[in-house]
Structure 1
């Protein structure tokens, strides 16, 4: 099943979405780490501070965009890269095998794919999503200590994105966009990049890509 409502979204609406305000490793494709490869760090997201919260002292970067529906999440993602033909059919060729594992333990309520490797996950609770990612990363790091050093997910308040295109990632972490969830204990971005505390201890939200 394809959702085509985004075709009617005006340029003005998309520009408004970019005024809203999000990710983690995985050596697999379809993640921040997988899409980067050996790409040099993006230098387009620094905010002049190396840490702290989102301006009101609260962890979890409350300024992140909130979608509410898959259609709205796709609109937000479409402001950063092509996502105007979202599919929620698990039999679609754009879906990745194994993504169904996110459904219950991660609290994912709906999964969508918009082609070219970009997937969207709607979830019930941001803290549960972050905690599950950290727990699985901690387990994986016992065999692969460097896993997760770049982060994995681009985050909004109620949705996560796994893009497989570097331009999407670069656009998404510009000011007013999404942030990367990073739970690696050795992650330490240069000064000038965000390192906002997430809702789970040991995790941060950042706009820094590490080579």
Structure 2
């Protein structure tokens, strides 16, 4: 079969669309690919509903693994015989159902969460307690979270990377004095006094 030259085919298509729209000055009568009509836009959810949902530890590991090595997830950090005392406290009170640790050098941990509002309330209580004793500590810090998981790392660079555009993750910050620089996001979380932000700093 002989194919028509490209310029001939293109010309025929232009003519076809011109005939289709003939007699109408309404751009909406043109095919959408040629600028006619309104293409439906997918609404980007904001706040908590805009966060990524992992569904499982494997799903969370894949999300976090885009920013650090997380091909294998262990139930204990760094291959140690027991989990750290700090991480051990994140249990039923925090609605944490499962803990996992990536196989990176930064001890990046993942916590699966059953009730995100209960988790945020428990974190807020922790921050309020620390604020009463050390009001200027960890002002710009917090867990990196999705809808059903939270992650923390010894590396602030790893945590900052997880906040990039399209990651679906944000920092849960519940510090009363938190006030990010202009240009960073600050949206309400599920618990009053906590916000979701893409700003993170150890200072």
State the TM-score, normalized to the length of structure 2: 0.71
Q: CA 1:91/1:209 → structure 2, altered by over 3 Å: closer, same or farther?
A: closer
- Could you tell me which runs of 5 or more consecutive residues in structure 1 were left unpaired when the two chains were aligned: 1-53
CA RMSD of aligned residues (A): 2.1
C-alpha distance in structure 1 between counterparts of 2:157 and 2:78, whole Å: 27
**Any residues of structure 2 matched to 1:52-91 within 5 Å, and which?**
60-89=47-76
Does residue 111 (structure 1) correspond to residue 99 (structure 2)? The answer is yes
Larger radius of gyration: 2
State the TM-score, normalized to the length of structure 1: 0.68
- Could you tell me which runs of 5 or more consecutive residues in structure 2 were left unpaired when the two chains were aligned: 1-42
Match of 2:87 in 1: 99
**Aligned match for 2:184, one of 171, 184, 193:** 193
Equivalent residue pairs, number: 156
C-alpha distance in structure 1 between counterparts of 2:86 and 2:153, whole Å: 16
Contact 1:111 1:119 in 2 (8 A): yes
Q: Which digits, 9 at most, give the CA deviation of each residue in 1:96-127, with x for residues without a partner?
A: 23322111110100000113210000011111
C-alpha distance in structure 1 between counterparts of 2:99 and 2:53, whole Å: 16
Match of 2:7 in 1: none
C-alpha distance in structure 2 between counterparts of 1:91 and 1:97, whole Å: 14
Match of 1:35 in 2: none
- More off after superposition, 161-170 vs 197-206: 161-170
Decide which structure has greater helix share.
Answer: 2
Match of 1:139 in 2: 129
For residue 75 of structure 1, report the CA deviation from its aligned partner: 0.6
Question: Higher relative contact order at CA 8 Å, sep ≥6: structure 1 or structure 2?
Answer: 1
C-alpha distance in structure 2 between counterparts of 1:167 and 1:153, whole Å: 13
Q: Which digits, 9 at most, give the CA deviation of each residue in 1:19-74, with x for residues without a partner?
A: xxxxxxxxxxxxxxxxxxxxxxxxxxxxxxxxxxx965x7x421111011101100
